[in-house]
Structure 1
Amino acid sequence: MDLIRLILNVLWLIFGGLISAFGWFFGGALLALTIVGLPWTFAAWRIGAYTLWPFGREVVWRDPDAGDIGAGPVGVVLNVIWFIFAGWYIALSHLIAAFFEAIIIIGIPFAIKDLELAKLALAPVGRTIRDKP
């Protein structure tokens, strides 16, 4: 199973994962340049890191009881603002990519990851990435 994950990750990286991750890292850097964008900077970089090597990893909500500001009510407000100004059209781009990847059978695993990225792009604050068991 680890060999399959490695092959899928390498193919993902070659056929668009590197470009997508660069976009997330660049967007996070632009957000970091502004004081207003700082709350979303680390979320964008987290998504960029996930985009580089997505197979074998999963996105989960952080525990709201851990005292993390982004996992509580502040995170909800930040996600609503994100959705209005950036999330919906980034998610739309991942949905379009998933549609074209799912046309052929070999692209279905990549389409599933793009659907996960679309869901993550809608509300990135309060999420974390962990290895799948």
Structure 2
Amino acid sequence: MKFVLNVIWLVLCGFWMAVGYVVAGLICCVLIITIPFGIASFRIANFALWPFGRTTVERRDAGAGSCIGNIIWIIVAGWWLTLGHIVTGIALCCTIIGIPLGIANFKLIPVSLMPLGREIVPTDQRFGNGW
């Protein structure tokens, strides 16, 4: 079932959301100081392409730098990417078959707002291996 949902997701909104993250990542990689934001954006682009069967968890070793970086990220790119998830989620929820995809879009909002200090893991590893 995850494969079918991922394929539908990819066709309806995953590709375009991933393009948004890649564009944000490329813009962030222009300056040396914002390269960590670009790397986080590319990581989320991969997650936005194929989200079902994976989830995000907080990293225990994330420190104050992640918090400060997330505040800067919200101002620079997080707000616009979150707005894309909200608009796409609402549009998908207008149809019965799109409701699970819309809910998945809404679940991507926290990671699009604050990507630093988070890690993408398979759902079966969410509570195992020290996470």
The two structures share one fold, judged by TM-score above 0.5: yes
Q: Which of 44, 49, 59 is equivalent to 1:47?
A: 44
Structure 2 match to 1:77: 68
Q: Write out aligned runs for 1:49-128 (5 A).
A: 49-64=46-61, 71-128=62-119
Deviation of 1:19 (Å): 2.1
Deviation of 1:16 (Å): 2.1
Partner amino acid, structure 1, of 2:106: L
Q: Which of 19, 22, 25 is equivalent to 2:19?
A: 22
**What secondary structure sits across from 1:37 in the alignment?**
helix
1:9 aligns with 2:6: yes
TM-score (norm 2): 0.88
Structure 2 match to 1:33: 30
RMSD: 1.3
Mind listing any 5+ residue stretches in structure 1 that lack a counterpart?
65-70
Give the Cα separation in 1 of the matches to 2:78 and 2:23.
16
**Structure 1: which 4+ aligned runs deviate by more than 3 Å?**
none
Deviation of 1:128 (Å): 0.8
Could you say which structure has the higher helix fraction? 1
Q: Which moved more, 1:50-59 or 1:27-36?
A: 27-36
Give the Cα separation in 2 of the matches to 1:35 and 1:87.
19
- Identity of matched residues, %: 36
**Corresponding residue pairs, total:** 124
